[in-house]
Amino acid sequence: MQQYKPKVKAPSPELLYSMQTILQKNHLTTVCEAATCPNRAECYSRGSATFMILGEVCTRACSFCNVKTGHGQKIDMHEPLRLATAIKELNLEYVVITSVDRDDLKDYGSRHFVACVKSIKEYNPNIKIELLTPDFRENKDALNRVIASDAHKLAHNQETVRRVSKYVRPQSNYDRSLKVLEYYAKNSNKIIKSSLMVGLGERKEELLDSMRELVDVGVSELTIGQYLQPTPQHHSVEKYYDKAFFEDIKDEAYAIGFQAVASGILVRSSYFAEQL
């Protein structure tokens, strides 16, 4: 299978150097840098970035994800302050805070999410914060904590269709993810968002079914992007979709009922997060 290689504008060396200097000084890593995201310079220039908290080791092992797996790391109690300081120095206007899964913690890391939001807001009172959370194993106390935080938007990624999910997310659960999104929608007045990847072996009708299920549980914003295999050991790409597909599926997503949709080959869950 011939791999499609989309072209992106080369990142500004000056902008990336400035960002990396501040991040290194505060001992932080953005998901943008860790994943060498092709969109990162574009997002930085718009005053937006995505940070990953609670360490770099995930307690789950999804076959599409390149994050390290193993025992969770010790929580860095100074991380919220360093995060808030870096965001202020970077003069960001919109941030996405996400994390690895922390099934080893009694609260699944939810208190740390809240501590980060509180600290960020103290230093950056006008900033908007989107929390892209794990499923917290549908623990209601954990979900209620992030709902009560001063976040502008709550997100949890469905990732793929029901049939494929059990193969690529064996430690997660398709229906549990839907229930988490539904709980967020029913128990808050925040914007609820999710994300789907294509190219993992799904059929179009399955993709449309998943989109309908997301709308039914209260999700109003959706991103759709092409899955790209990070290493030969990860799940293979079953299909590469062209630009026309992403335009068509975007139109169908709006027709299904989403209020905002970002769809494209290089679109990721935080792409244009501040504009959706």
Tens digits of pLDDT across the chain (276 residues): 445 555 555 556 666 667 777 777 877 766 655 555 666 666 666 667 889 999 988 999 888 887 888 988 999 999 999 999 999 988 899 999 999 999 999 999 999 999 999 999 999 999 999 999 999 999 999 999 999 999 999 999 999 999 999 999 988 999 999 999 999 999 999 999 999 999 999 999 999 999 999 999 999 999 999 999 888 888 899 999 999 999 999 999 999 999 999 999 989 887 655 556
CA-CA-CA-CA torsion sign (253, 259, 264, 267): negative
CA distances from 208 to 47, 161, 213, 244, 250 (A): 33, 9, 9, 16, 11
Q: What is the pLDDT of residue 1?
A: 47
Cα gap 192→175, rounded to integer Å: 17
Residues in the chain: 276
What one-character DSSP code corresponds to residue 101? -
Q: What is the pLDDT of residue 248?
A: 98
Interior angle at CA 98, CA 87 and CA 59, nearest 5 = 135
The pTM for the full model equals 0.89
Place of tokens 């992106």: 8
Interior angle at CA 271, CA 198 and CA 31, nearest 5 = 95
Q: How far separated are the first and last CA of the chain, in Å rounded? A: 33
Q: What is the pLDDT of residue 227?
A: 92
Amino acid at residue number 199: G
Q: What is the pLDDT of residue 32?
A: 59
Q: Are 160 and 197 in contact (CB under 8 A)?
A: yes
Could you give the domains of the chain?
Answer: 13-196 (3.20.20.70)
Place of tokens 């009694």: 106
- Report residue 259 as tokens: 């209020």
